[in-house]
Amino acid sequence: MIAFQPSHGASESSPRPWSRLTPAALPRAAVGWLAIVSALALAMALPGAASRAVAQAPSAAENPPAARTDATVAQPLEAQKSAPRAERAAPPAAKRLPADVRSTHTITLADRSLTFQAIAGSLPINDGEGKLQAEIAFTAFLADAAGDARRPVSFVVNGGPGAASAYLNLGAMGPWRLALEALTPSTIAPTQPNAETWLDFTDLVFIDPAGAGYSRLASDSEKLRRDFWSVEGDAEALAVFMRKWITAFGRARSPVFIVGESYGGFRAPLVAEQLREKQNVGVRGLIMISPVLDFGWRGGGRHVPLAFVSRLPSMAAAAREQREKFDRAALREVEDYAVGEYLRDLMRGEGDAAAVARISARVAAYTGLDFALVRRLAGRIDMRTFQRELRRSDGLVASAYDASVTGLDPEPNAARSRFSDPFLSAIHAPLANAAVAQYRDKLGWRTEERYHLLNNAVSSQWVWGRGRTAPQVVDELRGLLAADSSSRVLVAHGASDLVTPYFESQLIIDQLPAYGAADRLRLAVYGGGHMFYSREASRRALREDARSLMRATLAAH
């Protein structure tokens, strides 16, 4: 599913951006960035939150996340000495998740059959004294390849923060798939063998970070939440998990790839850096699905034009799909307009009547919205307005995650309407049920713990960092591509996604050098939205692009 994080400072020892200062202590601009990131993460993590969430800066935290060493989360000695007496005296936490279960399966597809092993289980994350801090649940699928320890292994995470990996597992990559099209909250649908599974060319390890899926923190202490539910802590914990999994299953010779969606895409370069710098694990490539690369592009209001520029092509894509099929080439015209005449007229300001008249006519034509409405908004269409107005005459509202998908407006005649996202809210219950059924029935891994497909508690308590700089992972991408000439990165987007618009990533990628070859960092745009893999054609195209990336990186060695 969905999600994002903040950025890093100039060096490992320098203060990380965002979380340790209270909003009152920050300049007004910094508070604005905190509010933007918090609101966006909430909108991406919670069904319907885009219509209900109020931007809220994250709470202050006085101490940085404890550093993780080896298989541990190490607490500084000074912190141990100053810990409250009750916390020091607390008995060691015990594991609650069941033992790993390994099983063998075969799926039969139209053109082939696949035999593979499945492992459902968990790995512990401990502190420096060996005390349990978290249990991280995973599902691994390993193709029956005579125990080839050199076969690629891909670690897969979703976003939120607080989202389980069931979205990519059961929606796109795993051996079984739940059809996400035309679901309703009450739909009960079985999974089917997935013709687009990635098991043909890589083993798969789906990870649920602490608080997502069945993964859990060992206690409810505020410090433990702060350590794991933070930008730095999350990346460190995932890197430790990956290193431990590689060791436990004898995969030190396997090429490693990271696949992440939404906030999972944003965290992928951070985890890769942690693996390289602290866990002695190199990463061959990243596949970032519907990510944000730099929150700084999202501005602080109507006076910042980049948000309007980056979203206009996605609005045009959604409007076009009301009439005809997706065509990537057909979006070139609106892209050229967005960074050309549109941007120039936006920069002239709302006080320039001629500029407003020009962009109002063009924006109305591209988006299909009423000209009078667009003129009243000076050609600057926000996401919420587009969702409500695109099909308002039909009593429908559009999804922020895929604006080509619509649902009934609960208040069609009201000036304003509060509605859950038509796409995200529809798939939530069926997908969660399918994930639980896969664990229990197909894989034989049973637990009484609650399964969290999207854990609202994680996103609402996320520690976003500290400082005044908007979060971004462009620096980490630069570092990965510069440090390893064989590494490659695929940034994949759906054309009609308003939450993470593809054109925003395109404009950022265009600012980076070639690093030896232009195709080492590539943007791919598919039909669909945030979870564009719900469409068969887009799911197939993503699979082929991922396979090509892995082949290219392996051929370079």
Q: How confident is the model at residue 64 (pLDDT cuts 50, 70, 90)?
A: very low
* pLDDT for residue 62 is more than 70: no
Confidence at residue 149, expressed as pLDDT on a 0 to 100 scale: 74
| Residue 236 C-beta-side C-alpha neighbours within 13 Å | 26
Confidence at residue 11, expressed as pLDDT on a 0 to 100 scale: 31
Angular region, 219: left φ>0, alpha ψ -120 to 50, beta rest: beta
- pTM confidence score: 0.85
Closest CA to 205 of 274, 144, 155: 155
Confidence at residue 450, expressed as pLDDT on a 0 to 100 scale: 94
Q: How confident is the model at residue 467 (pLDDT cuts 50, 70, 90)?
A: confident
Overall average pLDDT of the 249-266 stretch: 96
Q: At what angle do helices 231-248 and 263-278 cross, to 10 degrees?
A: 60
Overall average pLDDT of the 291-318 stretch: 90
* pLDDT for residue 349 is more than 50: yes
For 513-518, the CB contacts below 8 A with 24+ separation are 515/481, 515/482, 515/485, 516/485
Confidence at residue 545, expressed as pLDDT on a 0 to 100 scale: 98
Q: In Å, how far are 288, 314, 351 from 523, measured between CA atoms?
A: 10, 15, 36
SS3 9: coil
Confidence at residue 40, expressed as pLDDT on a 0 to 100 scale: 52
Share of the chain above pLDDT 70, in %: 82
* pLDDT for residue 34 is more than 80: no
More confident residue, 375 or 85: 375
Overall average pLDDT of the 470-495 stretch: 95
DSSP state of 426: H
Name the one residue in this structure whose structure tokens are 């541990």: 72
List pLDDT tens digits, range 352-405. Answer: 999 999 999 999 999 999 999 999 999 999 999 999 999 999 999 999 999 999
Q: How confident is the model at residue 295 (pLDDT cuts 50, 70, 90)?
A: confident
* pLDDT for residue 454 is more than 70: yes
List pLDDT tens digits, range 419-429. Answer: 999 999 999 99
Domains (ranges, CATH) in the chain?
72-296+429-555 (3.40.50.1820), 299-424 (no CATH)
- The separation between CA 442 and the C-alpha centre of its own chain, rounded to angstroms, equals 27
Q: How confident is the model at residue 275 (pLDDT cuts 50, 70, 90)?
A: very high
List pLDDT tens digits, range 88-123. Answer: 445 567 789 999 999 999 999 999 999 999 999 999
* pLDDT for residue 23 is more than 70: no
Cα–Cα distance, 426 to 420 (Å, whole number)? 9
Overall average pLDDT of the 253-280 stretch: 97
Closest CA to 47 of 529, 425, 451: 425
Task: Determine the residue type at 168.
Answer: L
Neighbouring CB atoms inside 10 A of 223's CB total 17
- Residues 471, 6 contacting (CB under 8 angstroms): yes
More confident residue, 301 or 505: 505
List pLDDT tens digits, range 123-143. Answer: 999 998 889 999 999 999 999
Cα–Cα distance, 63 to 493 (Å, whole number)? 36
Average pLDDT, the chain: 85
Cα–Cα distance, 413 to 143 (Å, whole number)? 54
Confidence at residue 147, expressed as pLDDT on a 0 to 100 scale: 59
B/e letters for 283-318, b = 16+ CB within 10 Å, e = fewer, are bbbbbbbbbbbbbbbbbeeeeebebbbbbbbbbbbb
Overall average pLDDT of the 25-46 stretch: 46
* pLDDT for residue 409 is more than 50: yes
Cα–Cα distance, 322 to 391 (Å, whole number)? 9
* pLDDT for residue 337 is more than 90: yes
Q: How confident is the model at residue 61 (pLDDT cuts 50, 70, 90)?
A: very low
List pLDDT tens digits, range 188-244. Answer: 889 999 999 999 999 999 999 999 999 999 998 999 999 999 989 999 999 999 999
